[in-house]
């Protein structure tokens, strides 16, 4: 079969004018899911990530952001990420897929902001551990989006909040399946009860439980401000969302564009670490203005709590992570 030269003329002209390259890849569009609402800072971070990637790849890689779990709740999206049905996400990762993802709330991994920044940024020991965990899920870790340091809110006065050996005489709610924090709070002198989230407000209001742990000051102000008398800023865990990408979605990009995506995700991570301490402090000030007693700790006091929990609690909850991960974790902490 012969081909008319006229059929090739438009393409030849385009090449001559620099309009296309025979070796160029088609522009790639990626879908990014997040559970943050459209007006929340997490969604703004996702949109900033998308804007920077588009700019630095000159539009060759675009990222469409789907906030507020539009593509499914975060457990469903986790499965879609593994399959490649969703390309990227900024969200928690499910322990239903791998129970070792309990590392996200494993207590006192990095109790100060400086330690957290080091542990969760590229080549940090937590980032390396999580990267290895999700590699077998067909995912790659790009960064994290820290929401804030965790603490506990109480509808009562806490007798001795800075004494890890005191009996506090209060009952604290942990989430269903919250083995890590059940063991930790028992060691810190509290009774513990499991209460579903939907029943927590009423349970605190009626005295079924005296307090709750597992979230941030911001979460408490949004949900329990009117029934919270005391907030203890334990810094027991870093509340965060993971920035992840399906491995095939990443590797189908040109190598230089893969590097852009990784670099931008780390920029977002580092910028948020600069912001999160100030954001936490602003929430604590809002608590004080609302009449809530706020208990904070110096870095030295946080180290004391971390030492107690690592010595007495970690051995009791080691099965949550498994022997190999615990060995790597303990070695990393000992080296710091």
Specify the pLDDT at position 85: 98
How much of the chain exceeds pLDDT 90, in percent? 90
Give me the mean pLDDT over the 305-314 stretch: 98
Per-residue pLDDT band for 25 (boundaries 50, 70, 90) equals low
CATH of domain 26-335: 3.40.190.170
pLDDT in tens, 144-164: 999 999 999 999 999 999 999
**Which of 272, 259, 241 is closest to 77 using CA atoms?**
241
**What is the per-residue pLDDT across 62-106, written as a single tens digit (0 to 9) for each?**
999 999 999 999 999 999 999 999 999 999 999 999 999 999 999
Sign for the CA dihedral angle at 286, 228, 158, 200 comes to negative
Q: For the chain, how long is the longest CA-to-CA vector?
A: 91
CA distance 143 to 244: 7
Report how far residue 73's alpha carbon sits from residue 198's, in angstroms, rounded to the nearest whole number: 17
> Distance between CA atoms of 219 and 117, rounded to whole angstroms?
21
Average pLDDT, the chain: 93
**For residues 47 and 35, what is the distance between their CA atoms, to the nearest angstrom?**
13
pLDDT for 51-73, tens place per residue?
999 999 999 999 999 999 999 99
Question: Quick check: 250 and 63 in contact, CB under 8 A?
Answer: no
User: Could you report the per-residue pLDDT of 257-279, keeping only the tens digit for each?
Assistant: 999 999 999 999 999 999 999 99
Query: What average pLDDT does range 220-241 have in this prediction?
Result: 98
On the question of pLDDT at 10 being above 80, the answer is: no
Tens digit of pLDDT for each residue in 192-230? 999 999 999 999 999 999 999 999 999 999 999 999 999
pLDDT surpassing 90 at residue 188: yes
Confidence (pTM): 0.89
Give the domain ranges of the chain: 26-335
Structure tokens at 294: 């706020």
């Amino acid at each position: 079969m012969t081909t008319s030269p006229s059929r090739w003329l438009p393409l030849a002209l385009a090449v001559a004018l620099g309009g296309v390259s025979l070796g160029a890849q088609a522009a790639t569009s990626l879908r990014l899911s997040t559970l943050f609402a459209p007006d929340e800072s997490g969604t703004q971070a996702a949109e900033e990530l998308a804007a920077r990637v588009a700019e630095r790849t000159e539009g060759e890689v675009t990222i469409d952001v789907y906030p507020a779990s539009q593509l499914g709740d975060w457990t469903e999206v986790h499965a879609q990420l593994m399959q490649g049905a969703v390309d990227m996400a900024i969200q928690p990762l499910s322990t239903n897929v791998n129970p070792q993802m309990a590392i996200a709330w494993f207590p006192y991994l990095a109790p100060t902001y400086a330690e957290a920044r080091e542990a969760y940024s590229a080549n940090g020991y937590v980032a390396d551990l999580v990267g290895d965990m999700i590699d077998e899920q067909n995912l790659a870790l790009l960064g994290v989006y820290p929401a804030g340091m965790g603490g506990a809110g109480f509808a009562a006065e806490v007798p001795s909040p800075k004494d890890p050996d005191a009996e506090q005489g209060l009952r604290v709610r942990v989430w269903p399946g919250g083995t890590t924090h059940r063991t930790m709070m028992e060691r810190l002198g509290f009774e513990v009860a499991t209460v579903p989230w939907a029943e927590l407000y009423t349970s605190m209001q009626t005295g079924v439980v005296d307090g709750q742990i597992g979230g941030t000051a911001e979460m408490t102000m949004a949900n329990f401000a009117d029934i919270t008398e005391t907030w203890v800023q334990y810094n027991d865990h870093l509340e965060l969302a993971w920035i992840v990408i399906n491995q095939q979605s990443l590797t189908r990009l040109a190598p230089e564009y893969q590097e852009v995506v990784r670099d931008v995700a780390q920029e977002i991570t580092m910028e948020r670490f600069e912001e999160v301490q100030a954001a936490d402090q602003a929430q604590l000030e809002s608590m004080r203005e609302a009449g809530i007693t706020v208990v904070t700790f110096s870095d030295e006091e946080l180290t004391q709590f971390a030492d107690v929990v690592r010595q007495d609690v970690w051995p009791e909850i080691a099965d949550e992570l498994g022997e190999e991960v615990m060995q790597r974790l303990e070695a990393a902490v000992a080296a710091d």
